[in-house]
Amino acid sequence: MKNLILITAILFFFGHCFAADSISSGQGSLGQAMVNPGYYEKPAWFKESFLDLAEDLQEANENNKKLFLYFHQDGCPYCEKLLKDNFSRKDIVNKMQRSYDLLEINIWGDKTITLLSGEEVSEKEFARQMKVMFTPTSLILDNKGIEQFRMNGYYAPDKFTAVLDYVLLTAARKPSFNDYYLQQRQSLVNNIQSDLHTEAFIYKGSDLSSWADSSKKPLLILFEQTNCPECNELHGDAFRRMPVYQQIKRFSIAQININSSKSIITPDGQSMTEKQFSEQLTIQYTPSMIFYNSKNHEVFRSEAYLKGFHVQALLEYISSGAYISEPQFQRFIQKKADKMHEQGIIVELWK
């Protein structure tokens, strides 16, 4: 099943970047350092490039490297976390410098990018074409310039490292990334959480098709796994916040264990295991949230680390139907934050 709108995304979100769009178009003002508010200094080892992708790809191939496209925006706390927590680690930096050429792309930027086809577009147009909904989004290309792996949003250092290693595997039949990551992680874990989190609002049956048909609410499926710190945070923090809970009540919610052999009936009526369903949907991050419309067709997905405010905004984006008229989630977030500021409400993005 292919999603209608691909968030193949870690993460979009902004501290001072609520005005990022107007700034990029010349309507904002620069700070004293002549940079946009929320600008983060990039590591010196990032590749210097004229953003001609054919030339960059050729150079990467000649050096036996992969081309790594890093989509970001100023003021994005998740981008800052990637820079400070991941790109400051010596082991990650060494892997990146040895095996990857990283190109940074501002999703609101106006620099010219020459595509592999020879077409010239702006950074923001390229981000739109690549369906970047969240920042940071990282795309790793193969030696022909075809997307090989996508990280939607922020990945913690251990998972980020696993991706870097996984992409470089040359085995003819390598495992799915989820299986690979699970193997890597279980070798380091002593106390394995045996069960998923349970919530009163989560459907406990196995026939998602019939259950969704009988429900008058949009369907949300949570894809999770045991021993998942990010899942722990979603249930222990975000779902315990009243604004989030108010939105949760507008959905029919099911839960899938991406490693389970339990048999289910999928929303479109197929019989398979939870693991097979997860692989069919190419789930590679937990927790992922996939939303369906009244016809049990996927309309939106989130596959990235989200804090409470963004979980609330995501649920509101779907439950209100805003995703139909506003296909760019970031613009919805920006409008919501601006409105809250006008009402004197402090937006705590990182709490």
Q: What is the CATH number of the domain that holds 316?
A: 3.40.30.10
Q: Is residue 226 located within the same domain as residue 332?
A: yes
Domain membership of residue 285 as a residue range: 208-342
Q: Is residue 132 located within the same domain as residue 259?
A: no
Q: Is residue 150 located within the same domain as residue 92?
A: yes
Q: Is residue 160 located within the same domain as residue 104?
A: yes
- Contact by Cβ (8 Å): 240, 232: no
pLDDT at 134: 87
Residues of the chain with pLDDT under 70: 1-38, 186-194, 347-351
Domain count for the chain: 2
The radius of gyration of the chain from alpha carbons, rounded to an integer in Å, stands at 20
Q: Is residue 235 located within the same domain as residue 138?
A: no
pLDDT at 243: 87
d(CA 265, CA 274): 9
The amino acid at 186 = Q
Q: Is residue 212 located within the same domain as residue 141?
A: no
**Cα-flanking dihedrals φ and ψ of residue 190, to 5°?**
-100, -40
pLDDT at 101: 97
> Nearest to residue 212, comparing CAs of 302, 294, 298, 316?
294
- Contact by Cβ (8 Å): 90, 137: no
SS3 102: strand
pLDDT in tens, 219-245: 999 999 988 888 988 988 888 888 898
Per the DSSP assignment, residues forming a β-bridge with 140 are 68, 149
> Nearest to residue 158, comparing CAs of 69, 73, 228?
228
pLDDT at 262: 94
Q: Is residue 30 located within the same domain as residue 140?
A: yes
pLDDT at 194: 57
d(CA 24, CA 334): 14
> Any alpha helices (H) in the chain, and if so which ranges?
20-24, 53-62, 77-81, 90-99, 123-129, 157-167, 177-186, 208-214, 229-236, 242-248, 274-280, 308-319, 322-325, 329-342
pTM of the model: 0.60
Q: Structure tokens of 213?
A: 């048909």
Q: Is residue 152 located within the same domain as residue 248?
A: no
Q: Is residue 212 located within the same domain as residue 167?
A: no
